[in-house]
Structure 1
Amino acid sequence: MNDRTTDNDENLSREDRLAAKLRENLRRRKTQAREMTGSRDEASTKSALPKTGRES
């Protein structure tokens, strides 16, 4: 029975480590997505044609 307790403790710590890595990865990917969206918005603003005021 003592072996099972040790296994459970190891599994919990492994699960905790994996959960922490997943959270870290999610934060990093969200940051990357925000940066990509920001750079895409800047690029589209710079490359957009000026409005002429005429309706077609």
Structure 2
Amino acid sequence: MTEKTSTDTGTTQRKAEVERQAAKRAQRSAEQLRANLQRRKAQVRARREGGADETDGLPASGSRGDMGGSGDGD
């Protein structure tokens, strides 16, 4: 009977440890989600405060006249 009690105690301890680890994971996940939400909100605020984006096409592509060829896109 003593063995069963120690086995039950070990099982209970393992379950408690698994529950603690799950709670820690959930807490870390919640913190990461909150941080991500704050970053996204900051990005939206920054975009609202900035001026309109007046670029035409990709900024790295340069002006349309700098492209080689006939200029008709083919």
> Do structure 1's residue 23 and structure 2's residue 23 form an aligned pair?
yes
Comparing 40-49 and 7-16, the one that deviates more:
40-49
Give 1:48 shift: 2.6
Unaligned runs of 5+ in 1: 51-56
Q: Please show how residues 5-44 of structure 1 align to structure 2 within 5 Å.
A: 5-44=5-44
Determine helix, strand or coil for the equivalent of 1:48. helix
Bigger fraction of residues in helix:
1
How does the TM-score come out when normalised to structure 1? 0.78
Aligned to 2:65: none
**TM, length-normalised to structure 2:** 0.61
1:48 aligns with 2:48: yes
Tell which has more relative contact order, 1 or 2 (C-alpha 8 A, sep 6+): 2
Runs of 4+ in 1 over 2 A off after TM superposition: none
Distance 1:25 1:14 in 2: 16
1:16: Cα distance to partner?
0.8
